[in-house]
Amino acid sequence: MSQKIYRPSTYRTNRRQFLQLMGAGVASAALLSACAPAGGTTASAGSSASAGTHSEWVTGKVPSDISAPFNYSSWEGEEEMRKWLLHFDNFFKTNYPKMQVHGDWGIDWGEYWTKMPTQLAAGAKIDLMWMHDSRVQTFANNGWLLPLDDYLASFPAIGWPQDFYPSQVKSFQYQGKQYGFPYDFASGGLYLNLDMFDKAGVKPPDENTTWDDFVGLAKSLTIKDGDKTTQWGVTGLPTDDANNAYIVVKCFGGDYWDEAITKSKFDQPETIAAFQYLADLIWKHEVMPSADMLKGLSMAGDLAFSSGLSAMHYTLNDEAFVLAETINKKFKWGFAPTPKGPAGQFYFVGGSAFSIPKSSTQPDIAYELIRWTLSNPDNLKVSGQMGSQFTGNTKFYEFGLPPDDWGVDKEAFKKTFYDLPREHGTLPSYHPKYLEWDTSVYATYMDPLWTGDQRDASVACRRFTTLPTSCCQARKRVIGLVSG
């Protein structure tokens, strides 16, 4: 199974732990039902409240006593869903207590992007769905999403769009229309086991550390017992994740394609050098395990880090709260930005959103739910605190910083995941065929580097430019979607 850095963690909190975290007094019957071990949720919001009057968060166009299904789908797991389940439960309990709310969540990341196109193309009645900035153009281009512009104009969300991250607002636009309401500002960085650094007598990396320096650090922190590695220098650096690997490519001065997406740049020496660097961390320097190696240990990179098997781990800011739970103060930990390269500093930024499928039977309620969840100041504070999340609204970033009881350097976290990414953040030029390109072409051509079947990045990278071409196929050629 591929380990996508932006895929939700594989950790799963059981029902008892979930109730302890949420507080029995907060979780209503609907929320408790939402925590079924299978991942899906089915609840009648009316189970804990009688039909109430409309609040300021709804338009009044839909009767408050409506009784109908409301279906949503998400790739996020229990840890990430805690905040959303709480917000959703409060919204329906207050405004539409007779609605039957069903959530299909905890879907594997890869499966989600296969399942949703299939369901939506068939007209499945899904009222709300999680959307990613790398996928929104595909869904909008295929006519599977409703534009939100009319809703935003007639019933504006608080602070929209001026208080939201411009990069995230733009990320969910297609052909001049808004197809997603961003719920976060996600960034990538390094998590550090500071005890391991102290023991090795090695200074932690900072914003001046180069990728060349990083190899030396990782070597100093890797420990072997004969042929067996007992401590890895680093885990989690992006390999089979094209989105995050892009920052390494940019640091080396490479790119995926030109601005018009008509010419591949995978054969550029700088692009090849970046992928060779990542492959060498695994096979030449032996400081980072491959996904298959970790699979053999029945764990992902985040669990390896929190279990004390790696000194550094790359992942996103919103994984911090999960790591805090699993580390549970077993060691002192900290944060550092990803290294800089010959071409400068580049940091991963991206994010997710809520979208309304065109097949929704309750689009008005779906928009009201989005507005309530993602622009209500009270909810934004909770989302930040419960999910170490930088919410889509810039005014609430501080609620996504680590709490004092974690015992970590809050300013180092802010610099790593907020200040530097806001200044130097970058992401690929996504396009309507990116979903197909990422899951088929990129995976097919680059996977041999990460499995060890191919150790030469130039061989893998040049496959992107050896596809058939003609004047009418030029664009398809670049994204690797010609049949021959």
Residues 196 and 297 in one domain: yes
Report DSSP state, residue 439: I
pLDDT digits (tens, 9 = 90+) for 342-370: 999 999 999 999 999 999 999 999 999 99
| Mean pLDDT score across all residues of the chain | 87
C-alpha count within 13 angstroms, C-beta hemisphere, residue 238: 23
88-98 average pLDDT score: 97
Tokens at 422, concatenated: 């806001």
The strand ranges marked E within 142-201 are: 173-174, 177-178, 181-182, 186-193
Residues 388 and 420 in one domain: no
Query: How far apart are the C-alpha atoms of 184 and 48, rounded to whole Å?
Result: 30
Confidence class of residue 476 from pLDDT cuts 50, 70 and 90? low
pLDDT value of residue 192: 98
Q: Note whether residue 55 is domain-resident.
A: yes
Residues 180 and 282 in one domain: no
pLDDT value of residue 301: 76
**Lowest-confidence segment of 33-42, 302-311, 361-370 by average pLDDT:** 33-42
Contact 200, 428 (CB under 8 A): no
Residue burial 70-88, b: 16+ Cβ < 10 Å; e: rest:
bbbbbbbbbbbbbbbbbbb
Q: Note whether residue 371 is domain-resident.
A: yes
Residues 118 and 173 in one domain: yes
Contact 187, 390 (CB under 8 A): yes
Tokens at 402, concatenated: 């680590």
pLDDT value of residue 241: 86
pLDDT value of residue 16: 33
pLDDT value of residue 24: 33
The strand ranges marked E within 396-451 are: 425-426
Q: Note whether residue 252 is domain-resident.
A: yes
Q: Note whether residue 243 is domain-resident.
A: yes
CATH of the domain at 44: 3.40.190.10
Tokens at 357, concatenated: 């499928």
Contacts of 251 (CB under 8 A, 6+ apart): 211, 274, 339, 340, 341, 342, 343, 344, 345, 346
Query: What is the span of the domain harbouring residue 85?
Result: 15-186+351-404
Residues 152 and 209 in one domain: no
Which residue in 220, 303, 253, 218 sits closest to 3, CA to CA? 303
User: Which of the listed residues 426, 456, 477 is the one where a domain comes to its end?
Assistant: 426
Q: Note whether residue 478 is domain-resident.
A: no
161-179 average pLDDT score: 96
Contact 381, 399 (CB under 8 A): yes
Which residue in 287, 285, 158 sits closest to 235, CA to CA? 287
**Lowest-confidence segment of 32-41, 231-240, 385-394 by average pLDDT:** 32-41
pLDDT digits (tens, 9 = 90+) for 234-287: 999 988 889 989 999 999 999 999 988 889 999 999 999 999 999 999 999 999
pLDDT value of residue 96: 97
Q: Note whether residue 357 is domain-resident.
A: yes
pLDDT value of residue 302: 85
Say if residue 482's pLDDT is above 80.
no
Residues 419 and 362 in one domain: no
pLDDT value of residue 25: 34
Task: Measure CA 381 to chain center.
Answer: 20
**Lowest-confidence segment of 90-94, 124-128, 233-237, 468-472 by average pLDDT:** 468-472
23: left (phi over 0), alpha (psi -120 to 50) or beta: left
Residues 116 and 214 in one domain: no
Contact 336, 203 (CB under 8 A): no
Confidence class of residue 187 from pLDDT cuts 50, 70 and 90? very high
Residues 303 and 415 in one domain: yes
pLDDT value of residue 466: 61
Contacts of 32 (CB under 8 A, 6+ apart): 19
pLDDT value of residue 300: 77
β-pair partners for 132: 352
pTM: 0.86
pLDDT digits (tens, 9 = 90+) for 17-30: 333 433 433 333 33
Residues 23 and 168 in one domain: yes
Q: Note whether residue 448 is domain-resident.
A: no
Residue with tokens 């997710």, as numbered in its chain: 352
Confidence class of residue 296 from pLDDT cuts 50, 70 and 90? confident
Looking at beta carbons, which pairs linking 81-85 to residues 24 or more positions away fall under 8 Å?
Answer: 81/34, 81/105, 81/106, 82/18, 82/21, 82/22, 82/386, 82/387, 83/382, 83/383, 83/386, 83/387, 83/389, 84/373, 85/31, 85/34, 85/35, 85/41
Confidence class of residue 295 from pLDDT cuts 50, 70 and 90? confident
Domain count along the chain: 2
Contact 191, 9 (CB under 8 A): no
Residues 58 and 207 in one domain: no
Residues 293 and 273 in one domain: yes
Q: Note whether residue 440 is domain-resident.
A: no
Longest CA span, the chain: 70
Residues 289 and 368 in one domain: no
